[in-house]
């Protein structure tokens, strides 16, 4: 190791570090409700996202009941079924995954991991949460408006989304679009915060290459989200105008059930371009924070530095950049110019290379490690398996001609659930088991955690792995019944029933998790400041849970990278980032 | 220890399921076995990578599980290994992409001798139009659609008068004769999908899309809609009959042209 | 979509330029101690605010680039009928330029600590901006009076949409400009915070002017050939 001259390494005295201007809460309301403290906002974001996620989970049960046992629940007619799939998809992708990774983990971890006292624009940060909450409430209102929620599918493709015989055409679609617009406005306020905090709020000594990969992942994802969400915004505004005042941005001349409509000349494909220009980066907006967090979980619990840190950072940035030139692989069968197929298939498969490098480096981090099978580690391992599986099936769908028979079949459903449903959610669980002790000061129960992991991981795999084969047969997605086709063998109905039963069990296991969260809050084992013996700054706060301002009087100073685990010659098997170099070796 | 075993079992179980399960693609009935071959190549490459990564991981978990007094190695990176892995991945990706692009090139290049068939989707039924004796389809426009003119053909276009229009019946195709399918929709996005043919393409209202294939097996095949088109989506089924020349001619004889249908509609209106 | 892709390439180049200064090739495990002595780690509010505004302008830029992309794609559809542009738009463009110039001189006044000049420059900018918005509304009414306010015409739908979104951005800016102007009258001298506010307003107004000039040339159909060329490149 090359040490910097020792005078540079001397810890700074208190007087040198200026107390940044912090807002000071005056009442209970401003401390816990309209709080500007990123940690409180993070908890608010997380709880809201988890709550709405549970709603989406229940929706998926109903869908699976219909698919596994058609007719068993008689109120799920096609209309209701499409409302279920639409709300399930939209909630999971945007209101759960995006909000939880960026609004939840981003808010909590960015200031703490970087050694900042708070986000740089706390007021906008608070507004961000409240607008998000409003967006969620507007979304939920969709269930109660006349005609019910929209049943247009989460992709909201026009003309279908706003035509008369689509469920929720009268109010549901309007409510959905307004909710999305609100979400984007709220997210932009939060996102600017995360980015500028990473750029400007880092503690002394925290260079970019010393940032934990969690922060790299969230940072890259936020930059992407800020640039990609406007596409959804534009699409939503234009569709709202088409629906409300009859413009023809997306609506061509149409004969709906024998009647000529007044729309003329619009382009449904234009919406698809806008939607997927947002929609594909969105996949990585969810994936990159998961990549970052899982890197830190593996490194901490295998007591070994993340293998190939530089390559991991470059891969994150490369994936982020490339993900803006692959969007049309969602549109291979939309009749766009055939030459686009060559371009987008090539870019899509190229993105597999940096992604594969990340997988190799996670596995190579385990090699010659000292692996503790803690609950967060189990979830990280589960993530690798499901992500590798789902990522590899992406190579089928990204390869334009292979996509032709498989697109819009259950294969696609299985693929994206594995890769951007199950995999990131396993990371979310792992991250919650990992950071819960910091947030609350108590550990989550280990036995319940292991039960939760095994049922969730194996169950999810049993749900989605066989589903690929149903799609391979040619069963389309978004069908109200998926076993009545001439080419489908009778045994498929059994398989569908099996999948449904497993889905119900996996869903029930989430209640164990919710119980664990609540129970451990008061009864969990006290955690201490650094239960996992981790190096990153959030574990080095003077108090646990961290107090307002995070660091007491003195801001931390960073002397080393985030992964000094099992350093040869060191007494402990971890060296916190703010531990000064040993003067004897200097 | 247990974790390692379970992960190994996940790999073994997945491979066993792949090999033994009764659920596999439908027997092909078109020239697109090239697509099937590309899928097989992809299955092999991705299957090997999946098994290798997860089994290696399981081995690591077993071999390097925590034991008292044991300490992890210190290894920040290994440039050579990382580059080799990246290059290996690149080769694997190229091995899948190259055949895929070659086949895509075939897929978008319609042979000159292909006959044209038009398929029109609307909520929730399929209609078909075949060129008449002149071998060409007449112009059409959605705004011309009416009860008498359900597909919106231009009555002024002479080429359209002899077009054969098929509603509420199956589409018949000639065996071993390449066919270019033009796709049109009157309302929302649909997708005419016969799993046995492998090929499909969305039909976008306001534009005409296409794909081509050659039916290689006689029989009746179920057609599905593969793009969400609202509540009737699940039940928007059609059928395609592939048959040899003689039977095809007999069927075609019974079909009505646009001019005949229009005359019948006018006669009905007069009564 | 070529416009938004070009915009993203620009963003990627910016990001790449910035990243290239961040020692991404360093081996962090070999470096122990404080290695960024030169960087002042204490967050300073002027820099933070400017970077924050810059990030927001990137987001807004993406929004407008997407609108322009959508505009050019929709333009290629068969039913596109161009609008006669109200002559008042020229006048409005002039007003927006004046507002930008006024804010620029406000920045100079703030830097030279001349509160009087600063106040009049801020007032002038505010008046010009309000006049711009009024002018835009008049243009809307003129088009509507000529019978173009119909949902059936995509060109007019786009005209109303892009001018409305641009106008909303300006309204948001006017709130901040209004507060800044009030503060400039309240304070006897130009404080650091006030100078910062003025600078931020100026940056934002220059951005709005730039966006407007692009939109204006699009609406005036000067860019048709360019769009045609891009489309030719793609097919």
DSSP state of C24: T
Element (H, E) at B179: strand B179-185
Cα torsion angle, A68, A74, A80, A84, sign: negative
DSSP state of A488: S
Q: Is C73 left (phi over 0), alpha (psi -120 to 50) or beta?
A: alpha
In this predicted model, what pLDDT tens digit does every residue of B151-195 receive, in sequence order?
999 989 888 888 999 998 899 999 999 999 999 999 999 999 999
What value does the mean pLDDT take over residues A464-485? 92
Q: Which is more confidently placed, A449 or B75?
A: A449
Chain B CB contacts of A80 under 8 Å are none
DSSP per residue over A30-88, as a string? IIIIS---HHHHHHHHHHHHHHHHHHHHHHHHHHHHHHHSTTSSTT--HHHHHHHHHHH
What value does the mean pLDDT take over residues A421-431? 96
In this predicted model, what pLDDT tens digit does every residue of A189-209 receive, in sequence order?
999 999 999 998 898 889 899
Length of chain A: 586
Length of chain C: 235
pLDDT at C44: 67
Whether residue A21 is predicted with pLDDT greater than 70 in this model: the reply is no
In this predicted model, what pLDDT tens digit does every residue of A217-276 receive, in sequence order?
999 999 999 999 999 999 999 999 999 988 889 999 999 878 888 888 889 999 999 999
Comparing CB atoms, the residue among C36, C78, C235 nearest residue A265 is C78
pLDDT at A19: 44
In this predicted model, what pLDDT tens digit does every residue of A478-528 receive, in sequence order?
999 887 888 899 999 999 999 999 999 999 999 999 999 999 999 999 998
Chain B CB contacts of A338 under 8 Å are 104, 107-108
B76 at interface of C, judged by CB pairs closer than 8 A: yes
Pairwise CB contact (< 8 Å): B228 & A338: no
A267 at interface of C, judged by CB pairs closer than 8 A: yes
Pairwise CB contact (< 8 Å): C5 & A227: no
Closest CA of chain C from A183, distance in Å: 15
Q: Which is more confidently placed, A4 or A327?
A: A327
C5's tokens: 């892709």
Chain A CB contacts of B7 under 8 Å are 381, 385
In this predicted model, what pLDDT tens digit does every residue of A157-169 receive, in sequence order?
999 999 988 999 9
Pairwise CB contact (< 8 Å): B206 & A265: yes
β-sheet bridge partners, residue A260: A255
What is the rounded distance in angstroms from the CA atom of residue C234 to the CA atom of residue A202? 44
What value does the mean pLDDT take over residues A323-344? 90
> Which of C20, C39, C55 to mutate to test binding with chain A, by most A CBs within 10 Å of its CB?
C55
Chain A CB contacts of C152 under 8 Å are 246, 248, 262, 264
Closest CA of chain C from A237, distance in Å: 9
- Domain count along chain C: 1
Pairwise CB contact (< 8 Å): A231 & C4: yes
In this predicted model, what pLDDT tens digit does every residue of C51-77 receive, in sequence order?
999 999 999 999 999 999 999 888 887
Please identify among residues 438-477 of chain A the ones whose CB lies closer than 8 Å to any CB of chain C: none
Pairwise CB contact (< 8 Å): A353 & B90: yes
Q: Is A79 left (phi over 0), alpha (psi -120 to 50) or beta?
A: alpha
> Which of A119, A198, A208, A310 to mutate to test binding with chain C, by most C CBs within 10 Å of its CB?
A208
Please identify among residues 131-160 of chain B the ones whose CB lies closer than 8 Å to any CB of chain A: 141-143, 145, 147, 152
In this predicted model, what pLDDT tens digit does every residue of A141-155 receive, in sequence order?
999 999 999 999 999
Return all residues near A354 (Cβ < 8 A) that are at least 6 apart.
Answer: A314, A315, A318, A319, A322
Q: Could you tell me if A243 and A162 are in contact, meaning their C-beta atoms sit under 8 angstroms apart?
A: yes
- Give residue A532's pLDDT band: very low, low, confident or very high (50, 70, 90): very high
Pairwise CB contact (< 8 Å): C52 & A121: yes
What is the rounded distance in angstroms from the CA atom of residue C96 to the CA atom of residue A57? 51
Radius of gyration of chain A (CA): 24
> Which of C15, C29, C39, C193 to mutate to test binding with chain A, by most A CBs within 10 Å of its CB?
C29
- The CATH number given to whatever domain includes residue C209 is 1.20.120.80
B93 at interface of A, judged by CB pairs closer than 8 A: yes
- Regarding beta strands B171-174 and B238-243, do their DSSP bridges make them parallel or antiparallel, or are they unpaired? parallel
Percent of chain B surpassing pLDDT 90: 79
Most distant CA pair in chain C: distance in Å?
72
Please identify among residues 112-171 of chain A the ones whose CB lies closer than 8 Å to any CB of chain C: 116, 120-121
Determine the structural domain holding residue C114 and report its residue range: 2-234
Element (H, E) at B51: helix B33-63
Angle of helix A352-366 relative to helix A309-322, nearest 10 degrees? 150
Pairwise CB contact (< 8 Å): C70 & A313: no
Whether residue B39 is predicted with pLDDT greater than 70 in this model: the reply is yes
Could you tell me which of B213, B186, B195 has the C-alpha nearest to residue B129? B186
B95's tokens: 């091995």
Cβ atoms within 10 Å of A18's Cβ, excluding its own = 11
Return all residues near C12 (Cβ < 8 A) that are at least 6 apart.
Answer: A321, A324
- Regarding beta strands B179-185 and B171-174, do their DSSP bridges make them parallel or antiparallel, or are they unpaired? unpaired
Angle in degrees, CA B121, B126, B127, rounded to 5: 95
Whether residue A4 is predicted with pLDDT greater than 80 in this model: the reply is no
pLDDT at A15: 34
A376's tokens: 């967060």
pLDDT at B220: 95
- Give residue C203's pLDDT band: very low, low, confident or very high (50, 70, 90): very high
End-to-end CA distance of chain B: 85
The reply to whether ipTM tops 0.85 is yes
Whether residue C41 is predicted with pLDDT greater than 60 in this model: the reply is no
Comparing CB atoms, the residue among A167, A304, A472 nearest residue B231 is A167
Taking CA atoms, A19 is separated from A553, B46, C50, C51, in Å, by 8, 54, 21, 21
Q: Is B175 left (phi over 0), alpha (psi -120 to 50) or beta?
A: beta
**How would you class A490 by CB atoms within 10 Å of its CB: exposed for 0-12, middle for 13-18, buried for 19 or more?**
exposed
What value does the mean pLDDT take over residues A64-91? 93
pLDDT at C39: 55
Q: Which is more confidently placed, A140 or C190?
A: A140
Chain A CB contacts of C15 under 8 Å are 223, 317, 321
Whether residue C40 is predicted with pLDDT greater than 70 in this model: the reply is no
pTM metric for this prediction: 0.94
> Which of B23, B62, B186, B236 to mutate to test binding with chain A, by most A CBs within 10 Å of its CB?
B23
Neighbours of chain A (3+ CB pairs under 8 A): B, C
Whether residue A55 is predicted with pLDDT greater than 90 in this model: the reply is yes
Pairwise CB contact (< 8 Å): A469 & B152: no
User: Mean pLDDT for chain A?
Assistant: 91
Closest CA of chain B from A290, distance in Å: 19
Closest CA of chain B from C36, distance in Å: 22
Closest CA of chain A from B162, distance in Å: 24
Pairwise CB contact (< 8 Å): C36 & A266: no
pLDDT at B8: 96
Chain B CB contacts of C24 under 8 Å are none
B141 at interface of C, judged by CB pairs closer than 8 A: no
What is the rounded distance in angstroms from the CA atom of residue C202 to the CA atom of residue A253? 45
What is the rounded distance in angstroms from the CA atom of residue A301 to the CA atom of residue B66? 10
Whether residue B199 is predicted with pLDDT greater than 70 in this model: the reply is yes
Chain A CB contacts of C67 under 8 Å are 234
β-sheet bridge partners, residue A465: none
- Give residue A10's pLDDT band: very low, low, confident or very high (50, 70, 90): very low
In this predicted model, what pLDDT tens digit does every residue of B5-16 receive, in sequence order?
999 999 999 999
Pairwise CB contact (< 8 Å): A8 & C55: no
User: Mean pLDDT for chain B?
Assistant: 92
B206, closest residue in chain C (CA to CA): C77
pLDDT at A585: 53
- Regarding beta strands B190-193 and B202-203, do their DSSP bridges make them parallel or antiparallel, or are they unpaired? antiparallel
What is the rounded distance in angstroms from the CA atom of residue B210 to the CA atom of residue A125? 49
> Which of A76, A339, A369 to mutate to test binding with chain B, by most B CBs within 10 Å of its CB?
A369
Closest CA of chain A from B8, distance in Å: 11
Angle of helix C154-186 relative to helix C45-75, nearest 10 degrees? 160
Closest CA of chain A from B148, distance in Å: 11
What is the rounded distance in angstroms from the CA atom of residue B164 to the CA atom of residue A283? 46
> Which of C28, C29, C80, C235 to mutate to test binding with chain B, by most B CBs within 10 Å of its CB?
C29
Pairwise CB contact (< 8 Å): A466 & B21: yes
- Give residue A538's pLDDT band: very low, low, confident or very high (50, 70, 90): very high
What is the rounded distance in angstroms from the CA atom of residue B123 to the CA atom of residue B234? 11
Neighbours of chain C (3+ CB pairs under 8 A): A, B
β-sheet bridge partners, residue B153: B140
Whether residue A177 is predicted with pLDDT greater than 80 in this model: the reply is yes
Percent of chain A surpassing pLDDT 90: 80
DSSP per residue over B108-175, as a string? HS--TTPEEEEEEEETTEEEEEE--TTS-PPPB-GGG--SS-TT-B-TT-GGGTT-EEEESS-EEEET
Closest CA of chain A from C3, distance in Å: 12
A325, closest residue in chain C (CA to CA): C5
pLDDT at A9: 37
β-sheet bridge partners, residue B116: B180
Residue B242 phi, psi (nearest 5):
-105, 125
Whether residue C233 is predicted with pLDDT greater than 90 in this model: the reply is no
pLDDT at C32: 86
In this predicted model, what pLDDT tens digit does every residue of A267-313 receive, in sequence order?
999 999 999 999 999 999 999 999 999 999 999 999 999 999 999 99
- Torsion angle, CA of A273/A279/A282/A284, rounded to 10 degrees? -80
A25's tokens: 């809460």
Chain C positions touching chain B (beta carbons under 8 Å): 27, 29, 77
DSSP state of A104: I
Angle in degrees, CA A504, B55, B47, rounded to 5: 75
C94's tokens: 């002039």
Least confident of A62-71, B242-251, C42-51, C151-160: C42-51
Closest CA of chain B from A200, distance in Å: 28
What is the rounded distance in angstroms from the CA atom of residue B151 to the CA atom of residue C29? 70
pLDDT at C234: 60
What is the rounded distance in angstroms from the CA atom of residue A96 to the CA atom of residue A136? 10
Q: Could you tell me if A289 and A198 are in contact, meaning their C-beta atoms sit under 8 angstroms apart?
A: no
Chain B CB contacts of C78 under 8 Å are none
Taking CA atoms, A248 is separated from A171, A262, A277, C154, C158, in Å, by 19, 9, 21, 6, 10
Closest CA of chain A from C61, distance in Å: 9
A3, closest residue in chain C (CA to CA): C32
């Amino acid at each position: 190791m090359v040490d910097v001259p020792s005078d540079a390494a001397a810890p700074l005295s208190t007087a040198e570090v200026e107390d940044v201007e912090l807002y000071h809460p005056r009442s209970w309301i401003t401390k816990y409700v309209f709080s500007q403290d990123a940690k409180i906002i993070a908890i608010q974001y997380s709880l809201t996202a988890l709550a709405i996620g549970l709603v989406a989970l229940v929706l998926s049960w109903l869908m699976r009941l219909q698919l596994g046992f058609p007719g068993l629940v008689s109120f799920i007619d096609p209309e209701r079924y499409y409302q279920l799939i639409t709300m399930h998809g939209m909630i999971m992708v945007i209101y759960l995954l995006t909000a939880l990774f960026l609004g939840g983990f981003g808010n909590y971890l960015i200031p703490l991991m970087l050694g900042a006292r708070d986000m740089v624009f706390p007021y906008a940060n608070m507004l961000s949460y409240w607008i998000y909450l409003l967006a969620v409430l507007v979304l939920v209102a969709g269930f109660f408006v006349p005609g019910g929620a929209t049943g247009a599918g989460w992709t909201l493709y026009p003309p279908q989304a706003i035509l008369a015989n689509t469920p929720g055409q009268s109010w549901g679609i309007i409510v959905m679009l307004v909710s999305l617009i609100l979400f984007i406005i709220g997210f932009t306020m939060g996102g600017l915060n995360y980015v500028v905090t990473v750029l400007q709020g880092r503690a002394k000594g925290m260079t970019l290459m010393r940032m934990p990969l969690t922060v790299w992942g969230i940072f890259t994802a936020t930059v992407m989200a800020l640039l990609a969400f406007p596409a959804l915004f534009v699409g939503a505004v234009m569709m709202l105008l088409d629906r409300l005042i009859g413009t023809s941005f997306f609506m061509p001349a149409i004969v709906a059930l024998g009647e000529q409509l007044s729309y003329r000349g619009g382009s449904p494909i234009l919406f698809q371009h806008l939607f997927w220009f947002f929609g594909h980066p969105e996949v990585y907006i969810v994936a990159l924070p998961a990549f970052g967090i899982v890197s830190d979980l593996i490194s901490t619990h295998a007591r070994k530095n993340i293998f190939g840190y530089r390559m991991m950072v470059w891969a994150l940035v490369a994936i982020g950049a490339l993900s803006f030139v692959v969007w049309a692989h969602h549109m291979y069968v939309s009749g766009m110019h055939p030459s686009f197929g060559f371009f987008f298939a090539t870019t899509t498969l190229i993105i597999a290379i940096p992604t594969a490098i990340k997988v190799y480096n996670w596995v190579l981090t385990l090699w010659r490690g000292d692996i503790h099978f803690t609950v967060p580690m189990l979830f990280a391992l589960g993530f690798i398996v499901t992500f590798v599986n789902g990522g590899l099936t992406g190579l089928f769908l990204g390869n334009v001609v292979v996509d032709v028979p498989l697109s819009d079949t259950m294969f696609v459903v299985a693929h994206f659930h594995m890769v951007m449903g199950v995999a990131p959610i396993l990371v979310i669980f792992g991250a919650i088991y990992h950071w819960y002790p910091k947030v609350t000061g108590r550990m989550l129960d280990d036995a319940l955690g292991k039960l939760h992991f095994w049922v969730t991981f194996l169950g999810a795999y049993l749900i989605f792995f066989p589903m690929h084969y149903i799609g391979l047969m040619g069963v389309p997605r978004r069908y109200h019944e998926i076993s009545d086709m001439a080419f489908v063998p009778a045994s498929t109905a059994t398989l569908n029933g099996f999948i449904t039963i497993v889905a119900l069990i996996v869903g029930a296991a989430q209640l164990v998790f919710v119980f664990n969260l609540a129970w451990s809050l008061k009864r969990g084992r006290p955690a201490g400041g650094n239960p996992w013996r981790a190096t990153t700054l959030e574990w080095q706060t003077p108090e646990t849970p961290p107090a307002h301002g995070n660091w007491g009087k003195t801001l931390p100073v960073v002397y080393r990278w985030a992964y000094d685990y099992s350093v040869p010659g060191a007494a402990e098997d971890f060296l916190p980032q703010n531990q000064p170099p040993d003067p004897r070796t200097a | 220890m247990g974790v390692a075993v379970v992960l190994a079992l996940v790999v073994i179980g997945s491979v066993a399921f792949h090999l033994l399960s009764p659920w596999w693609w439908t027997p092909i009935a078109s020239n697109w076995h090239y697509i099937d071959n590309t899928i097989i190549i992809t299955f092999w490459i991705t299957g090997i990578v999946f098994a290798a990564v997860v089994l290696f991981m399981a081995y690591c978990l077993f071999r390097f599980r925590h034991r008292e007094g044991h300490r992890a190695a210190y290894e920040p990176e290994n440039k050579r290994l990382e580059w080799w892995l990246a290059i290996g991945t690149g080769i694997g990706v190229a091995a899948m992409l190259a055949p895929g692009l070659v086949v895509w090139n075939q897929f978008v290049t319609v042979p000159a001798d292909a006959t044209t068939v038009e398929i029109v989707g609307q909520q929730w039924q399929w209609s078909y139009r075949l060129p008449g004796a002149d071998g060409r389809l007449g112009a059409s426009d959605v705004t011309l659609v009416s009860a008498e003119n359900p597909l919106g053909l231009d009555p002024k276009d002479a080429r359209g008068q002899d077009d054969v229009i098929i509603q509420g019946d199956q589409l018949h195709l000639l065996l071993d004769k390449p066919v270019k399918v033009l796709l049109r929709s009157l309302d929302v996005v649909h997708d005419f999908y016969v799993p046995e043919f492998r090929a499909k393409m969305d039909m976008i209202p306001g534009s005409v899309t296409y794909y081509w294939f050659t039916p290689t097996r006689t029989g009746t095949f179920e057609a599905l809609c593969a793009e969400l088109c609202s509540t009737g989506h699940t039940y928007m089924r059609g059928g395609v009959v592939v048959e040899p020349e003689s039977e095809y001619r007999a069927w075609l004889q019974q079909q009505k042209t646009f001019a005949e249908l229009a005359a019948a509609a006018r006669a009905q209106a007069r009564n | 979509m070529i416009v938004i892709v070009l915009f993203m390439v620009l963003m990627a180049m910016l990001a790449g330029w910035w990243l290239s200064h961040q020692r991404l090739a360093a081996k962090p495990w070999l470096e122990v101690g404080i290695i960024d002595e030169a960087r002042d780690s204490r967050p300073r509010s002027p820099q933070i605010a400017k970077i924050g505004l810059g990030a927001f302008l990137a987001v807004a830029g993406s929004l407008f680039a997407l609108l322009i992309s959508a505009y050019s794609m929709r333009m290629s559809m068969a039913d596109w009928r161009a609008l006669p542009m109200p002559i008042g738009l020229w006048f409005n463009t002039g007003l927006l330029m004046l507002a930008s110039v006024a804010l620029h001189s406000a920045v100079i006044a703030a830097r030279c600590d001349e509160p009087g000049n600063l106040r009049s420059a801020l007032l002038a900018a505010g008046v010009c901006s309000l006049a711009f918005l009024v002018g835009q509304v008049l243009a809307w009414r003129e088009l509507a009076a000529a019978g173009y306010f119909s949902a059936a015409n995509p060109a007019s739908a786009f005209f109303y949409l892009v001018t409305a979104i641009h106008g909303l951005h300006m309204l948001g800016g006017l709130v901040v400009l209004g507060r800044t102007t009030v503060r400039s009258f309240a304070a006897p001298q130009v404080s650091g915070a006030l100078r910062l506010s003025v600078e931020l307003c100026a940056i934002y107004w220059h951005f709005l002017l730039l966006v407007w000039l692009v939109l204006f040339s699009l609406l005036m159909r000067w860019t048709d050939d360019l769009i045609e060329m891009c489309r030719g490149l793609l097919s």
